[in-house]
Amino acid sequence: MAKEKSKNNYAVLKRILSYAKPYRGKIILALIFAVFYVGLNLTAPVLVGYAIDNAVDKGMVDFKTIGDLLLMVGITVICSSLFQWMMELCTNEVAYLTMRDMRRDIYKKFNSVPLRFIDGHPHGDLISRMINDVDSVGDGLLQGITRLFSGIVMIVCTLGFMIFINPVIALVVVLITPLSMFVAAFITRISQAMFREQSRTQGEISAYINEYVGGQKVVKAFGYEQRSVKDFEEINERLRVCGQKSQFYSSLANPSTRFVNGLVTAAVSAAGAISVIQGVISVGQIATFITYANQYTKPFNEVTGVIPQLQSALAGADRIFSVLDESNETPDAEITASPEKCRGQVDIENVSFSYVPEKPLIRDFNLHVKSGQRVAIVGPTGCGKTTLINLLMRFYDIDSGSIMIDGTGIYDITRSSLRRHYGMVLQESWLYNASIRDNIAYGKPDATLEEVKRAAQQAHIDRFIDRLPEGYDTVITEDGGNLSQGQRQLICIARVMLCQPPMLILDEATSSIDTRTEIKIQKAFNEMMKGRTCFVVAHRLSTIKESDIILVMKDGNIIEQGSHDELIRKGGFYNTLYNSQFAAT
């Protein structure tokens, strides 16, 4: 199990480094700066050692030489700091460019995975992966690269200097120092699981907050505040526990390695004192050696000090790559059509579909719609009405059967071409943080202001927009928070009226609009529907009486089909639904 985790960590680290590969020029430059930084950093102890040798006895101090040496030490330290700054500048740039590329790839992935994946994961968790987990990778990468570059060069150069001064004492340092790495590796294995749990729980709490902040009106309306706080406290407490454990275990690494390094300093001091007594090295050299021994062990301390960030980075990267490794939606066939025009004839033959394999929803569904016909779809909740819309738009792929537009299968048409032929208004309106004009022109970005105004007039929202201080340039807050539900839906209707697509899908398009406005909108829709194939999902049956075909669905099957008058005369399920709504009239 430990070997599998180690292999997995290695694979994750390798993928993280692959993101930094395009910036290897900056990495090489950082390595060069690291060499100069370390070289100058190691020169200072030698100069200090010479200064000590020139001031070992009272009355035998060579002030001029010591002054010159101290001046050189000052220059060395300043130059060393400059090269360190340039090295960290390069590594910072690599880290942040890597984070940018990761976020870009995740965002692209969100647009290429099937909707089944987006619908099947809490949106807050997906947002957490894109923001928090990428930040964790960036922090770990930033710390890791900086420490790695300077650390490797420091270890190699320091070891070389120590061997040059005294190979025996250098051997003592080399033999004792690896103990710190064994201690750090042992602690790392313990804390790694905690960091993975911490990252997962962070995603869970982000998803929970996203849900309840977005649904505050419902939470307050049903008096759920105390229960939501209780649920939040439970997740928050789990995050505290796993976060505290991960930090506790990982924080053991640094003091443990420092203890080992203390042993190194003690061993070097003892061996050096003996060598000084024997006249093998001078006092200044032993002072230099002790400084080198500390600098040799310092990179090991720094690496163990950033273990929490590195582990958090690996855990976050694992969650990021699990998204990036998701399969994209089935690509368009190599030979696909992109028809510019569409008559709107739709043929559905023997279509079966299920969200979950063991629970079939639509079975052997058949429907033939002529160009320009208006098709209404009614039925109880969960019967498959909206699912049928998802299949027509290829948001989900059918399990079997075929769906054809103008005699061409939808899998032989590019998705973009297929969806361009549909105009869609859903019950749940979606607006983004931009001006009203931009939101109406979402499907036709090159539309002129006159065209946008004409669409708003048709949707009967122009008077409301004109009353706003900035008119069509008024910025809508996130998800249309500064508009009523009805106003948001009218803007979505105007969006479709601007595009004038050959086919329409209206899924409870007027559910949030007052009756008077609905009558006006219905007239505008009637004008718009002329010559266009339309699919209308409605619970208010009064809005679909003029439809050419009414499909009555139940449990994924069409149980009745015909015009309003025909279905009323049959006295079946539709008649029961209709009378249940209008019994009082």
pLDDT tens across 77-130, in order? 899 889 889 988 888 888 888 888 989 998 888 888 888 888 778 777 888 888
Q: Judge whether residue 190 has pLDDT over 80.
A: no
What CA–CA distances, in Å, run from 150 to 8, 147, 328?
26, 5, 41
pLDDT tens sequence across 422-442: 888 877 778 888 888 998 888
Q: What is the rounded CA–CA span in Å between residue 84 and residue 487?
A: 58
Q: What is the SS3 assignment for 190?
A: helix
Q: What is the pLDDT of residue 82?
A: 93
Task: Look up the pTM and report it.
Answer: 0.68
Q: Spell out the domain ranges in the chain.
A: 19-324, 346-582
- Give the pair of three-digit tokens for residue 498: 């601007």
Residue 584: band (very low, low, confident or very high) from pLDDT cuts 50, 70, 90: very low
Same fold, 19-324 and 346-582: no
Pairing of strands 374-378, 533-537: parallel
Q: What is the rounded CA–CA span in Å between residue 319 and residue 325?
A: 10
Bridge partners, residue 550, by sequence = 376, 562
H helices, E strands: number in the chain: 22, 10
Q: What is the pLDDT of residue 1?
A: 46
Q: Superfamily for 19-324?
A: ABC transporter type 1, transmembrane domain (1.20.1560.10)
Q: What is the rounded CA–CA span in Å between residue 101 and residue 17?
A: 12
Q: What is the pLDDT of residue 419?
A: 83
Write phi, then psi, for 14 (nearest 5 degrees): -65, -40
- CATH fold, domain 346-582, is Rossmann fold (3.40.50)
Instruction: Let me know how long the chain is.
Output: 585
Mean pLDDT of the 437-450 span:
88
With a pLDDT cut of 70, the percent of the chain lying above it is 87
